[in-house]
Structure 1
Amino acid sequence: MAIQLGQIAPDFEQDTTHGPIRFYDWLGSSWGMLVSGPKQFTRSAATDLTEMAKLRDEWERFGVKPIGLSADDVETDQPQQPRLADRQKAAYPPIITDNDAKVSKLYGAVYVENDPAVSSRSIFVIDPTKQVRHIATYPASAAESVFTEILGAIERLQQADAFDPVI
């Protein structure tokens, strides 16, 4: 079953390109953005990684920790990041190794049942209480930046919380 708005985001332990994490510990008291999608280094995945990296200052301004979710393993993802980061002049966020589909099943990410190279991608915005506050799903063929839209949603959620905190 897919995670829904207002539910508590599932916790998990998994390897990433920055080392093993326990998701809740990694998030701490920050907002989080979990971006699932096709295998890395497809057109849409490369676009997502590049845009997430370029918006690093904006994520920091809103207290958001972005993290990717890949059907590939760390050995596939890790060697590519320095090359791409150098070319794009940006530091990439961690990417969760999900070749066992453990995390994607927890979140009901779309690509679990499909070919990971051609499936949709999903973005889960999680607040400091670990509640899922925003979900967006896009087809893999929509390889344009969606993160300006996500930043706007996060800004509106945080503004609303300042006046009427979520319980």
Structure 2
Amino acid sequence: MSLRINETIPDLKVETDQGTFTLHEFVGDSWAILFSHPKDFTPVCTTEFGAVAQLAEEWEKRGTKVIGVSVDGVEDHKKWKGDIEAVAEAKAGFPIIADEDLELSKAFNMLPAEAYLPDGRTPADSATVRSVFIIGPDKQLKLSMTYPMTVGRNFAEVLRALDGLQTSTKQGVATPANWNVGDDVIIPTSVSDEDATAKFGEFKTVLPYLRTTKLPA
């Protein structure tokens, strides 16, 4: 069964290049992003890990932990980080889970229950382990997105989505298409006009069911 939005992530015990812990221990009281990869020492994934490393200050500003996943082992992860840091010119300070038994990949529905890693495997054997999961402090899945092996992930979009989730959670609003921090937000239909005025002050009624407002800076 797939892991759905607002369901609690499984509290798996994972081995990483930075030690062993459970996923719930890792998340703690923070937001967290788990991003998965089908194999170490692959070109697209190396650039993606590098992009995550370069954004270390942005994750910290948002109180967000990041953790990678690949179906290779810890020693490979440690060696691969040298390549990642050389490409990114930044330290890859986040842990990488060694999902050699595919437990996490299956629990997060990236691979079917019967999947296994054959001898002499290639990244194609675990091609669907290419997802981003944003997890809230409540340990619930808030967002997921999956990419093919040939398309590098846009981590500016991951940051934008994280900003939207944190804003909607904190402010009780929704965000429109292409929203960025500072843009107008949407007032939920469950909030009456009277309550909207009391909470947000002025707002614009675009349609009876679409009202927008600007949040304080």
Q: Does the alignment reach a TM-score above 0.5?
A: yes
Q: Give aligned-pair identity as a percent.
A: 32
Q: Alignment RMSD, CA only?
A: 2.0
- Residues 111 and 72 (structure 1 numbering): CA distance in 2 closer, same or farther, change over 3 Å? farther
Letter in structure 2 aligned against 1:14? V
Q: CA deviation at 1:82?
A: 3.2
Return 5+ residue gaps in structure 1 as ranges. Answer: none
Return 5+ residue gaps in structure 2 as ranges. Answer: 174-217
User: If each structure's helix is expressed as a fraction of its own residues, which one has the higher value?
Assistant: 1
Q: Distance in 2 between matches of 1:3 and 1:148?
A: 24
Q: Find the counterpart in structure 2 of residue 54 from structure 1.
A: 54
Aligned: 1:130 with 2:155? no
Q: Distance in 2 between matches of 1:87 and 1:55?
A: 14
How many aligned residue pairs are there?
A: 164
Bigger Rg, which one: 2
Letter in structure 2 aligned against 1:31? W
- Residues 12 and 116 (structure 1 numbering): CA distance in 2 closer, same or farther, change over 3 Å? farther
- Residues 109 and 116 (structure 1 numbering): CA distance in 2 closer, same or farther, change over 3 Å? farther
Paired residues of 2:47 and 2:87 also in contact (CA < 8 A): no
Q: Distance in 2 between matches of 1:110 and 1:155?
A: 29
* Dislocated runs of 4+, deviation >2 Å: 86-89, 110-116
Paired residues of 1:13 and 1:23 also in contact (CA < 8 A): yes
Q: Which stretch of structure 1 is more off in the superposition, 57-66 or 85-94?
A: 85-94
For normalisation by structure 2, the TM-score amounts to 0.70
SS in structure 1 at match of 2:32: strand
For normalisation by structure 1, the TM-score amounts to 0.90
Letter in structure 2 aligned against 1:161? T
Bigger relative CO (Cα 8 Å, ≥ 6 apart): 1
Letter in structure 1 aligned against 2:39? K
Q: CA deviation at 1:59?
A: 0.7
SS in structure 2 at match of 1:3: coil
